[in-house]
Structure 1
Amino acid sequence: MIDPVLASRLQFAITTIVHIIFPVMSMGLAPFLIYFTWKDIRTGEPIYEQLRRFWTKIFAISFVVGTVTGIVLEFEFGTNFAAFSTAAGELFGGPLAVEGMMAFMLEATFLGVFVFGRERVGDALYFVSSVAVGLGTWLSAVWILIANSWMQTPRGYEVVTENGQPVIHLVDPLAAYFTPRFGYMYVHMQNAAVESVALFMAGVAAYFVFRHHVWGYQTQHVEFWEVTLKIALVALLITAPLQVLHGDMYGRHVAETQPQKFAAMEAVWETEAYVPEYLVAVPTSLDQLTDPRAKELFGIGIPGGASWLASGGDPSAEIRGLETFESEAPPVAIVFWAFRGMVGLGFWFILLAFWGGYRWFTGELFEDGLLHKALMASSLLGIVAVHLGWIVTEVGRQPWVIQGVMKTSEGVSPGLTAAEATITLVGFVLVYAALLGLYVYVIARIIRNGPPGESSLRSVPDAPPSPSAPGAPGVADDD
């Protein structure tokens, strides 16, 4: 049997890793759907209705599955982390409740209009429904990240003892709900979602464009996929550089507020200056996979880069080493390698974006088979980068569930046994694997079926013939 603390952490990690795929898809698709709806209404061109209807299917399925898996996550706070919920429920539960009452209800209410109401409501109301759905999706992230950012950098609270147990009370809502971390997390997460969906759209579109233009297969709706590829590239050209630039500012903030996390990200064990930023790090022995020490790894780095990042421009700045944190240091290997992977993917996305932009500029976007293969191979890497980023965020603050206030081991449900934790862990792995497999199957089937053909798009019914028209009832033809 697995220790209840470890089993609870693994269970929450697995459910989160699966769940986050669906909010990323819905949040990332929201701006695209608003744009497609606006263009459809304004121009009346069939291509934009095809784009709206096709990607709305994927959005709706992601929303439904994300809702189901998100509810389960909230239940886990009670089943596996009851001590944490009891102590921090007043502060942590508030944002989650508001998310359900405000953001989820807004999104769910207007989603019905957006999915089924195109023929039943006017253009203005239909466009409002698209904006409301997107706004609800992004508001959900606001409240979820308010709760999480408070756990990273807690503010606006006091700890009191009630019935012999420490309880956290909210004393300053503005300080608690809008911590220094919130802005960094929100911008980084939302931009990552749009970037991930842009990569997914580009990868799927590249497959069909490659089949048609490079392999020479006759592909239905090739114009649809060409337009999709171009729109995805525009989004990627905006979001990929922004993610790296903002990540630089975010990393500096982490160094200021969670120095132990930053030290783990850079594998700095002893306090030192002129710490290099290793863009590529390769272990020279198997031991270094589980015990990485940056200065002992073989890598390509920028001298003083990590010090420059931590200080905001001083390559000689000192970085506090992990050895000074003693028992408060996070699992270094997981954080270090996850951070390397996330950063590496970030630069790869920039390369892809400018590669595609250059080929578009030279008029060879649809003929560059190597670019198409790169986009296809990268279609899911945005989701992978999001996962790696959350691993850095969550594992990097261990052993704390609330930074500096409550350790994860103290937040686990006190009555949870090893047998119960192990059985539910196994059960969740099986159920979530099946759920993810079903989701992938449905999305793959939607993509395989392709967009609706022009003949299946909505059309204005033929007007009845006028009484004077040739062939109208009761009117004889002259000839």
Structure 2
Amino acid sequence: MLEPIIASRLQFALTTVVHIIFPVMSMGLAPFLIYFTWKDIRTSEPIYEQLRRFWTRIFAISFVVGTVTGIVLEFEFGTNFAAFSTTAGELFGGPLALEGMMAFMLEATFLGIFVFGRERVGDVLYMVSAVAVGVGTWLSAVWILIANSWMQTPRGYELITENGQPVVMLVDPLAAYLNPRFFWMFVHMQNAAVESVALIMTGLGAYFVFRHHVWGYSIEHVDFWEATLKFGLIALIITAPLQVIHGDLYARHVFETQPQKFAAMEAIWETDSYVPEYLIAFPTSVQDILDPRAKNIFGIGIPGGASWLASGGDPQATIRGLEEFEGPQPPVALVFWSFRIMVALGFWFLLLAVWGAHRWWRGELLEDDLLHKALMVSTPLGILAVELGWVVTEVGRQPWVIQDVMKTRAGVSPGLTSAEATTTLAGFAIVYLGLLVLYVYVVARIIRTGPPDVSDPGATDRPEGSSREARVDD
């Protein structure tokens, strides 16, 4: 049996790693669906109806599974981390409640109209439903990230004692909710979600285009997959450079507010200056994998890059080493390698964006088989980068559950036994992995089925004999 603290952390990590996939899909698809809906209404071109209907199916299944897996996460605060909930409930509970009452209800109310109501409502109301669903999806992220960002950089509170237990009392809601980390987390997360969906769209589009143009297979609705490839690439061209630029600024903010986490990200144990930033790093021994240190890692990097990154322009800047921080250290190996891989993926996505833009400009986008293969391989890598980002964010701040306020060990439910924690961990592993497999199966079925044939009146979601012109003024 595992210790309650270990089993609880593993359970929360497992459920979060699986759950985050579905909000990423929903949030990333939202801007695409709003655009496809607007173009469908404005132009009456069949391709936009196909794009809207096809990706709405994947959005809907992502929303449903994300709701199921997300509700369980909130219950885990009470079952596994009751002491944390008691201490931070006044501040932490508010954003979570608002997420349910405001964002979720907005999204859920209009999702029914958006998915099933095209033939029952006019164009104006249908467009409103698309925007409301998209706004609700992103508003959900606002409240979740407000809660999480406060745990990273707590502000606007006082720590008091009630019945012998420390309790966080909210004294300045604006300072707490608009804490220094929120802006960085929200922009980085939302851009990453759109980038992840863009990679999925380009990967799928490239697969079918590759089979049609390179292998010579007859692909039904090949124009749909060509459009999917192009729209995904447009989004990738926008989001990939933004993610790299914002990631650089975000890392500087982490250095200023969580220097111990930054030292773990760079595997700096001793305070040093002119610290290199390794874009690609290789361990020189097994020991270096488990206990990486910047001086012992062989890699390709920028001399003084980490110092420049931390200071905002000074390659000679000094970075505090982990040995200067008292108490337990974060799992450095996990944080260091997760950060390295995430950064490498970010630059790979940027390369794909530039490569794709160049081939499109040359008129060779649909014939470049090497680019198609690169995009196909990269289809799931956006999701992987998001997962690694959250590993850096959450594991990097250990041993704190609330930075410099409460340690994770102190937040575990006091009555939780090893048997209970281990048993529920095993149960959640089975259920969540089963849901993930089912989700992948359903999405794969949707992809294999392909887009609807809108030329067939029986396949369209508009009533026979209806006209767009008649509904524009509804």
TM-score, scaled to structure 2 = 0.97
SS at match of 2:145: helix
SS at match of 2:181: helix
Cα distance in 1 for residues equivalent to 2:328 and 2:285: 26
Which residue of structure 2 aligns with residue 277 of structure 1? 277
Which residue of structure 1 aligns with residue 445 of structure 2? 445
Cα distance in 2 for residues equivalent to 1:406 and 1:166: 9
Cα distance in 2 for residues equivalent to 1:458 and 1:184: 40
Which residue of structure 2 aligns with residue 60 of structure 1? 60
Aligned partner of 1:204: which letter? L
Give CA-to-partner distance per residue, 1:151-179, whole Å, 9 cap, x none: 00000111111111111110000000010
**TM-fit CA distance, 1:363:** 1.1
**TM-fit CA distance, 1:330:** 1.1
Does 2:228 align with 1:228?
yes
Residues 264 and 396 of structure 1 are in contact (CA less than 8 Å); yes or no, is this contact kept in structure 2?
Answer: yes
Which residue of structure 2 aligns with residue 217 of structure 1? 217
**TM-fit CA distance, 1:230:** 0.4
Which residue of structure 2 aligns with residue 196 of structure 1? 196
**TM-fit CA distance, 1:461:** 3.5
Question: What are the within-5 Å matches in structure 2 for residues 382-393 of structure 1?
Answer: 382-393=382-393
Give CA-to-partner distance per residue, 1:130-160, whole Å, 9 cap, x none: 0000000000000000000000000011111
Which residue of structure 2 aligns with residue 358 of structure 1? 358
SS at match of 1:299: strand
**TM-fit CA distance, 1:329:** 2.3
SS at match of 1:280: strand
Residues 119 and 463 of structure 2 are in contact (CA less than 8 Å); yes or no, is this contact kept in structure 1?
Answer: no
Aligned partner of 1:9: which letter? R
Residues 158 and 171 of structure 1 are in contact (CA less than 8 Å); yes or no, is this contact kept in structure 2?
Answer: yes
Does 2:176 align with 1:176?
yes
SS at match of 1:428: helix
Residues 110 and 129 of structure 2 are in contact (CA less than 8 Å); yes or no, is this contact kept in structure 1?
Answer: yes
Residues 118 and 462 of structure 2 are in contact (CA less than 8 Å); yes or no, is this contact kept in structure 1?
Answer: no
Aligned partner of 2:317: which letter? A
Specify whether residues 462 and 383 from structure 1 end up closer, same or farther in structure 2 by C-alpha distance, changes over 3 A only: closer
Give CA-to-partner distance per residue, 1:198-238, whole Å, 9 cap, x none: 00011111111011000000000000000110000000000
Give CA-to-partner distance per residue, 1:255-287, whole Å, 9 cap, x none: 000000000000111001100001111011000
Aligned partner of 1:7: which letter? A
Give CA-to-partner distance per residue, 1:421-477, whole Å, 9 cap, x none: 1111111111111110000000000000000012122466359xxxxxxxxxxxxxx
Report the more deviating stretch, 350-359 or 406-415. 350-359
Cα distance in 2 for residues equivalent to 1:242 and 1:461: 44
Question: What are the within-5 Å matches in structure 2 for residues 463-474 of structure 1?
Answer: none
**TM-fit CA distance, 1:326:** 3.1
Aligned partner of 2:218: which letter? Q
Which residue of structure 2 aligns with residue 256 of structure 1? 256
Does 2:265 align with 1:300?
no
Does 2:425 align with 1:425?
yes
Specify whether residues 460 and 441 from structure 1 end up closer, same or farther in structure 2 by C-alpha distance, changes over 3 A only: closer
Does 2:12 align with 1:9?
no
Residues 119 and 462 of structure 2 are in contact (CA less than 8 Å); yes or no, is this contact kept in structure 1?
Answer: no
Question: What are the within-5 Å matches in structure 2 for residues 66-77 of structure 1?
Answer: 66-77=66-77
Specify whether residues 130 and 2 from structure 1 end up closer, same or farther in structure 2 by C-alpha distance, changes over 3 A only: same
Cα distance in 1 for residues equivalent to 2:295 and 2:225: 47
Report the more deviating stretch, 322-331 or 395-404. 322-331
Cα distance in 1 for residues equivalent to 2:200 and 2:109: 27
Which residue of structure 2 aligns with residue 476 of structure 1? none
Cα distance in 2 for residues equivalent to 1:138 and 1:462: 36
Q: Give the number of the structure whose alpha-carbon radius of gyration is greater.
A: 1
Question: What are the within-5 Å matches in structure 2 for residues 238-253 of structure 1?
Answer: 238-253=238-253
SS at match of 2:118: coil
Cα distance in 1 for residues equivalent to 2:422 and 2:289: 27
Aligned partner of 1:360: which letter? W
Give CA-to-partner distance per residue, 1:94-153, whole Å, 9 cap, x none: 000000000000000000110111111111111011000000000000000000000000
**TM-fit CA distance, 1:29:** 0.1
Cα distance in 2 for residues equivalent to 1:175 and 1:328: 29
Which residue of structure 2 aligns with residue 93 of structure 1? 93
Aligned partner of 2:286: which letter? L
Question: What are the within-5 Å matches in structure 2 for residues 387-426 of structure 1?
Answer: 387-426=387-426
**TM-fit CA distance, 1:74:** 0.2
Residues 279 and 300 of structure 1 are in contact (CA less than 8 Å); yes or no, is this contact kept in structure 2?
Answer: yes
Which residue of structure 2 aligns with residue 148 of structure 1? 148
**TM-fit CA distance, 1:294:** 1.1
Cα distance in 1 for residues equivalent to 2:461 and 2:411: 55
Give CA-to-partner distance per residue, 1:167-193, whole Å, 9 cap, x none: 111000000001000000000000000
Question: What are the within-5 Å matches in structure 2 for residues 56-135 of structure 1?
Answer: 56-135=56-135
SS at match of 2:300: strand
Which residue of structure 1 aligns with residue 326 of structure 2? 326
Aligned partner of 2:410: which letter? E
Residues 90 and 170 of structure 2 are in contact (CA less than 8 Å); yes or no, is this contact kept in structure 1?
Answer: yes
Residues 46 and 457 of structure 1 are in contact (CA less than 8 Å); yes or no, is this contact kept in structure 2?
Answer: no
Cα distance in 2 for residues equivalent to 1:192 and 1:281: 23
Which residue of structure 1 aligns with residue 28 of structure 2? 28
Which residue of structure 2 aligns with residue 348 of structure 1? 348
Which residue of structure 1 aligns with residue 370 of structure 2? 370
Specify whether residues 167 and 6 from structure 1 end up closer, same or farther in structure 2 by C-alpha distance, changes over 3 A only: same
Aligned partner of 1:115: which letter? V
Which residue of structure 2 aligns with residue 477 of structure 1? none
Which residue of structure 2 aligns with residue 41 of structure 1? 41
Give CA-to-partner distance per residue, 1:317-357, whole Å, 9 cap, x none: 00000001132421100000000000000000001111111
Cα distance in 2 for residues equivalent to 1:253 and 1:104: 30
Cα distance in 2 for residues equivalent to 1:10 and 1:381: 23
Specify whether residues 265 and 141 from structure 1 end up closer, same or farther in structure 2 by C-alpha distance, changes over 3 A only: same
| Structure 1: gaps spanning 5 or more residues | 464-479
Cα distance in 2 for residues equivalent to 1:8 and 1:286: 29
Residues 83 and 411 of structure 2 are in contact (CA less than 8 Å); yes or no, is this contact kept in structure 1?
Answer: yes
Give CA-to-partner distance per residue, 1:383-441, whole Å, 9 cap, x none: 00000000000000000000000000000000001111111111111111111000000
SS at match of 1:119: coil
Does 2:460 align with 1:457?
yes
SS at match of 2:299: strand
Residues 157 and 172 of structure 1 are in contact (CA less than 8 Å); yes or no, is this contact kept in structure 2?
Answer: yes
Cα distance in 2 for residues equivalent to 1:191 and 1:151: 22
Which residue of structure 1 aligns with residue 160 of structure 2? 160
